[in-house]
C-alpha cells in the first residue's frame, strides 16, 4: 500500500493536524476499526454507526492515526489526528492522490448485471502481462473504490475497478476519483428500478462512466445491448464492442455445452480466433468473458496470452459455484444476488443439465420498483417453460414466482412456499432427493446462503 506521512495526508485532504508527529508514516488505510492494522490510518466515517465512536478502538487495534471531522479524545500523544470537514471527501481525495502518484491503467467496470464477474475475469486475463490490482469483492461504491485505490503497491501496472450505482451522479463521482483509461459497460437491465424511473434513466446513469473517462480512453461496450450502444453514440474515443452479433468486434461463436464441465466456444476478433474451454455452467457468463477479452485485446494482449487464463477461470463463492451436498445432490450456489435477467439466464442454462429432478430454490428479487410482482410472476413462468420440476419459493415476493409457476402449469405438489430462508433451510432436506440439481438464488438480504449451508450440512450426515 502507499506510504504517506501525516503532514502529507493533512495537505492532500485539506485538514489540520491536531496531534502527532508530521513525520508519522502510515502503511494502510481503512474505515472499520475492527480491521485496523498496525501503523494504519483510520477514517472516522459516519455510516450505520458513527466512526468517531470507534477511533479509540482503532488505536487499540494498532492504528497509528485517524482522520476525523470533530474532536475526539485518544490516549497517547503519538497517535496522529487530522481534522477535516468531511471524512468521506478526505478518503476520496487521498485515494485520488495515490493514483496521481502511481499512475496505472485504470479499467472501470459498470453495468446492471455481471460487474463483479467481469471485473474478476478482466483482472485474471490482464495478469498474464501486467501486475494488477483489483477491487475486492463488490467494493464498488464511493467508499469501496477509494479503499481499493489505497491498496496500490509500487510496481502495480493496472487497476481493475468495479463501479456501481443506484442513483444518478454516483458514477460521475467515482470517475472523478479514478478516471478510466478503459470504461466497460456490461449491459443495462431492470435493476435498482426502485431508484430509477425507467430503463432509460438507468442507461443515462451508466453513461456517466464514459463522460468521466480520460481523453483518448477506450469504451468496451455490449454490442448486443441497444441501450448501451445508444448512450455511447456520442463517445469520442475508441469503441470496442463485444457480444454474439456479427457486427461485434469480439464475438463468441460455436458455443457448445459440455454439461457439468461448462462450455467450449470460439472467440473471434478481427481475422483471429481461438477455441477455448470455459468452466462455467450459466451461459450468461460468456458475456462477462467477452467483455474481459475485449479489455485485454484492446490493451494489446493476444489470444494466445489470455487463453490459459480463460481455461483457469473459476466461479467465486455464491456466484455460480457448484457444490456437492451428498446423495448425488448437486447445488448451484448463486446466492450472492438476484435480478430478473440473471435469474432467467440461470433457469434456462441449468435446465439443460442432466439430473433426476431440477429444484429451484428462489427468494425475493428486491429493488424492482412498481413492477416487482410482475417480474416475479414472469420468473415463475420461465421456470416452468424451461422444464424445472420443483419450486421452493422463499419470501413474500417469491410467492408471486409460485403464482406464476402455478399459472403456467406447475402442480401444487411441486410448489413449496416459505416465509424466509430460515424456514426454508429447516425444511429443504425433506424436499430434495438423490440425483437432484438444486439452484439456490435470491437477493443478498434474503440470506439464501443459509439454505446452501443446510444442504451441505445434511450431505455430511
C-alpha distances in Å from residue 382, one per residue of 21, 285, 305, 360: 64, 19, 39, 12
Statement to judge: residues 143 and 49 lie in one domain: no
C-alpha cell of residue 72: 475526539
110 domain residue, yes or no: yes
Residue 461: its pLDDT value, please?
A: 62
Residue 241 has, within 13 A of its CA and on its CB side, a CA count of: 17
For residue 327, the model assigns a pLDDT of 78
Cα–Cα distance, 199 to 286 (Å, whole number): 23
Report the sign of the C-alpha dihedral through residues 362, 368, 369, 374, in that order: negative
Q: Specify the CATH number for the domain of residue 59.
A: 3.40.1390.10
Boundary (domain end) residue, out of 69, 93, 117: 93
Range of the domain at 394: 321-460
Please tell me the predicted confidence (pLDDT) of residue 195.
Answer: 85
Q: In this structure, is residue 54 part of a structural domain?
A: yes
153 and 171 together in one domain: yes
Flag whether 316 is in a domain.
no
Residues 111 and 85 in one domain: no
Q: What pLDDT does residue 307 have? A: 93
- Predicted confidence at residue 155, as pLDDT, reads 95
179 and 39 part of one domain: no
Q: What is the DSSP string of 323-387?
A: EE-STT-EEEEETT---HHHHHHHHHHHTTS--S-EEEEEEPPPS-GGGHHHHHHHHHHHHHHHT
> Is 75 part of a structural domain of the chain?
yes
Domain end (from 282, 311, 340): 311
Pair (205, 337) in one structural domain: no
Q: What pLDDT is attached to residue 398?
A: 98
Same domain, 61 and 179: no
CB 252 within 8 A of CB 224: no
Does 406 reside within a domain? yes
Q: What is the pLDDT along the chain (461 residues), one digit of tens a residue?
A: 789 999 999 999 999 999 999 999 999 999 999 999 899 999 999 988 999 999 999 999 999 999 999 999 998 779 999 999 999 999 999 999 999 999 999 999 999 999 999 999 999 999 999 999 999 877 889 999 999 999 999 999 999 999 999 899 999 999 999 999 999 999 999 888 788 989 999 999 999 999 999 999 999 999 999 999 999 999 999 999 999 999 999 999 999 999 999 999 999 998 899 999 999 999 999 999 999 999 999 999 999 999 999 999 999 999 999 999 987 999 999 999 999 999 999 999 999 999 999 999 999 999 999 999 999 999 999 999 999 999 999 999 999 999 999 999 999 999 999 999 999 999 999 999 999 999 999 999 999 999 999 999 876 66
**How is residue 316 annotated by DSSP?**
P
Q: Supply the pLDDT for residue 76.
A: 75
pTM of the predicted protein model? 0.94
Check whether residue 106 and residue 75 sit in a common domain: no
Structural domains in the chain (count): 3
Same domain, 295 and 355: no
On whether both 307 and 379 belong to a single domain, the answer is no
Q: Do residues 119 and 175 share a domain?
A: yes
CATH number at residue 274: 3.40.1190.10
CATH number at residue 362: 3.90.190.20
Cell of 68: 476525523
Same-domain pairing of 109 and 59: no
Distance CA(353)–CA(436), nearest Å, equals: 11
Domain shared by 331 and 307, yes or no: no
Last residue of a domain, one of 93, 119, 141: 93
Q: Tell me what pLDDT residue 352 has.
A: 95
Q: Give the per-residue pLDDT at 194.
A: 80
Amino acid at each position: 500500500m502507499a506510504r504517506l506521512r501525516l503532514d502529507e495526508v493533512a495537505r492532500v485532504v485539506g485538514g489540520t493536524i491536531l496531534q502527532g508527529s508530521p513525520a508519522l508514516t502510515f502503511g494502510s488505510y481503512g474505515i472499520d476499526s475492527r480491521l485496523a492494522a498496525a501503523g494504519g490510518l483510520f477514517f472516522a466515517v459516519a455510516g450505520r454507526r458513527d466512526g468517531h465512536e470507534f477511533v479509540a478502538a482503532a488505536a487499540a487495534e494498532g492504528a497509528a492515526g485517524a482522520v476525523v471531522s470533530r474532536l475526539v479524545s485518544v490516549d497517547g500523544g503519538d497517535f496522529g489526528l487530522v481534522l477535516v470537514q468531511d471524512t468521506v471527501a478526505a478518503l476520496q481525495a487521498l485515494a485520488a492522490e495515490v493514483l496521481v502518484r502511481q499512475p496505472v491503467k485504470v479499467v472501470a467496470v459498470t453495468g446492471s448485471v455481471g460487474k463483479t464477474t467481469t471485473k474478476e475475469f478482466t483482472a485474471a486475463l490482464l495478469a498474464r502481462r501486467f501486475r494488477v490490482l483489483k477491487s475486492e469483492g463488490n467494493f464498488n461504491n464511493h467508499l469501496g473504490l477509494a479503499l481499493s485505490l489505497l491498496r496500490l503497491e509500487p510496481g502495480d501496472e493496472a487497476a481493475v475497478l468495479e463501479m456501481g450505482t443506484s442513483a444518478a451522479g454516483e458514477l460521475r463521482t467515482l470517475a472523478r476519483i479514478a478516471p478510466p483509461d478503459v470504461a466497460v459497460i456490461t449491459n443495462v437491465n431492470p435493476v435498482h428500478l426502485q431508484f430509477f424511473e425507467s430503463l432509460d434513466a438507468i442507461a443515462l446513469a451508466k453513461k456517466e462512466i464514459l463522460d468521466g473517462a480520460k481523453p483518448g480512453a477506450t469504451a468496451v461496450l455490449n454490442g448486443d445491448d441497444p441501450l448501451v450502444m445508444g448512450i455511447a453514440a456520442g463517445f469520442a474515443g475508441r469503441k470496442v464492442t463485444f457480444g454474439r452479433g456479427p457486427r461485434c468486434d469480439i464475438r463468441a461463436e460455436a458455443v457448445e455445452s459440455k454439461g457439468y464441465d461448462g462450455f467450449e466456444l470460439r472467440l473471434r476478433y478481427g481475422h483471429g480466433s481461438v477455441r477455448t474451454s470455459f468452466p462455467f455452467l450459466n451461459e450468461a457468463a460468456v458475456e462477462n468473458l467477452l467483455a474481459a477479452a475485449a479489455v485485454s485485446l484492446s490493451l494489446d494482449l493476444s489470444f494466445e496470452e489470455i487463453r490459459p487464463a480463460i481455461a483457469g477461470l473459476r466461479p467465486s463463492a455464491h456466484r455460480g459455484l457448484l457444490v456437492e451436498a451428498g446423495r448425488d445432490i448437486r447445488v448451484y450456489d448463486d446466492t450472492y444476488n438476484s435480478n430478473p435477467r440473471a435469474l432467467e439466464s440461470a433457469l434456462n442454462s441449468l435446465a439443460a443439465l442432466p439430473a433426476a429432478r431440477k429444484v429451484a430454490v428462489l427468494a425475493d428479487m428486491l429493488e424492482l420498483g412498481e413492477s416487482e410482482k410482475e417480474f416475479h410472476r414472469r420468473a415463475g413462468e420461465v421456470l416452468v417453460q424451461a422444464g424445472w420440476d420443483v419450486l421452493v419459493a422463499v419470501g413474500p415476493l417469491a410467492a408471486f414466482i409460485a403464482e406464476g409457476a402455478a399459472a403456467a402449469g406447475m402442480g401444487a405438489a411441486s410448489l413449496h412456499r416459505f416465509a424466509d430462508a430460515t424456514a426454508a433451510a429447516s425444511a429443504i432436506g425433506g424436499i430434495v432427493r438423490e440425483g437432484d440439481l438444486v439452484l439456490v438464488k435470491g437477493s443478498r438480504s434474503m440470506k439464501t446462503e443459509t439454505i446452501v449451508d443446510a444442504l451441505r450440512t445434511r450431505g455430511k450426515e
